[in-house]
Structure 1
Amino acid sequence: MRLRIFIEPQQGASYDTQLAVAKATEDLGFDAFFRSDHYLKMGDVDGLPGPTDSWVTLAGLARETSHVRLGTLMTAATFRHPGPLAISVAQVDRMSGGRVEFGFGAGWYEDEHASYGIPFPATARERFDRYEEQLDVITGLWATPVGETFRYEGRHYRFSEGPALPKPQQEPRPPVLIGGTGPTRTPRLAAAHADEYNVPFASVEATAAAFDRVRAAVAASGRSEPMVYSAAQVVCCGRDESELKRRAAAIGRDPEELRRDGLAGSPAEIVEKLGRFHEIGCERVYLQVLDLSDVDHLELIAAQVSRQLQ
Structure 2
Amino acid sequence: MTLDLRIFVEPQQGATYDDQLAVAQATERLGFSAFFRSDHYLAMGDRDGLPGPTDSWITLAGLARETSTVRLGTLVSSATFRHPGVLAIQVAQVDQMSGGRVELGLGTGWFAAEHAAYGIPFPDKRFGILEEQLAVVTGLWGTPVGEKFSFSGEHYQITDSPALPKPAQSKIPVLVGGGGPRRTPALAARYGDEYNQSFPEISEIGPRIKVIEKALSDAGRDPGSIVQSVALVAAIGKDEAEFTRRAAAIGREPAELREHGIAGTVAEAVDRLKALEADGVQRVYLQVLDLADLDHLDLVAREVRPQLG
TM bin, normalised by shorter chain, reads over 0.9
Q: Which runs of 4+ in 1 moved over 4 A?
A: none
2:106 aligns with 104
Q: Which SS does the other structure have where 1:293 is aligned?
A: coil
Deviation per CA, 1:43-92: give whole Å up to 9, x if none: 01110000000000000000000000000000000000000000000000
Task: Please state how far the C-alpha of 1:26 moved relative to its aligned partner.
Answer: 0.3
Distance 1:95 1:57 in 2: 12
Distance 1:170 1:275 in 2: 32
Distance 1:185 1:211 in 2: 15
Distance 2:178 2:133 in 1: 17
Matches within 5 A, 1:175-190: 175-190=173-188
Task: Please state how far the C-alpha of 1:208 moved relative to its aligned partner.
Answer: 1.1
1:117 aligns with 119
Higher mean C-alpha deviation, range 225-234 or range 72-81: 225-234
Q: Which SS does the other structure have where 1:80 is aligned?
A: coil
Distance 1:62 1:80 in 2: 20
Q: Does 1:247 align with 2:246?
A: yes
Distance 2:286 2:94 in 1: 23
- Contact 1:36-1:73 at 8 Å conserved across structures: yes
Task: Please state how far the C-alpha of 1:180 moved relative to its aligned partner.
Answer: 1.6
Q: Does 1:202 align with 2:200?
A: yes
Q: Which SS does the other structure have where 2:185 is aligned?
A: helix
CA RMSD of aligned residues (A): 0.9
Q: Does 1:64 align with 2:66?
A: yes
2:275 aligns with 276
1:20 aligns with 22
**Which letter does structure 2 place at the counterpart of 1:228?**
V
Task: Please state how far the C-alpha of 1:205 moved relative to its aligned partner.
Answer: 2.1
**Which letter does structure 2 place at the counterpart of 1:303?**
R
1:168 aligns with 167
Distance 2:308 2:97 in 1: 31
- Contact 1:183-1:210 at 8 Å conserved across structures: no
2:97 aligns with 95
Q: Does 1:35 align with 2:34?
A: no
- Structure 1: any 5+ residue segments left out of the alignment? none
Q: Which SS does the other structure have where 1:181 is aligned?
A: coil
- Structure 2: any 5+ residue segments left out of the alignment? none
Distance 2:98 2:227 in 1: 22
1:264 aligns with 263
Q: Which SS does the other structure have where 2:126 is aligned?
A: helix
- Contact 1:113-1:119 at 8 Å conserved across structures: yes
2:128 aligns with 129
Q: Percent identity?
A: 62
- Contact 1:204-1:276 at 8 Å conserved across structures: no
Distance 2:203 2:237 in 1: 25
Distance 1:215 1:23 in 2: 35
Task: Please state how far the C-alpha of 1:202 moved relative to its aligned partner.
Answer: 1.4
Q: TM-score, normalised by structure 1?
A: 0.97
Task: Please state how far the C-alpha of 1:203 moved relative to its aligned partner.
Answer: 2.8
Q: Which SS does the other structure have where 1:139 is aligned?
A: helix
Distance 2:89 2:161 in 1: 12
Q: Which SS does the other structure have where 1:3 is aligned?
A: strand
Q: Which SS does the other structure have where 2:263 is aligned?
A: strand
- Contact 2:149-2:162 at 8 Å conserved across structures: yes
Task: Please state how far the C-alpha of 1:199 moved relative to its aligned partner.
Answer: 0.5
2:209 aligns with 211
Distance 2:193 2:4 in 1: 16
Distance 1:146 1:54 in 2: 28
- Contact 2:42-2:53 at 8 Å conserved across structures: yes
Q: Which SS does the other structure have where 1:102 is aligned?
A: strand
Deviation per CA, 1:206-233: give whole Å up to 9, x if none: 1112111111110101124811100100
Deviation per CA, 1:1-56: give whole Å up to 9, x if none: 01000000000000000000000000001110000000000001110000000000
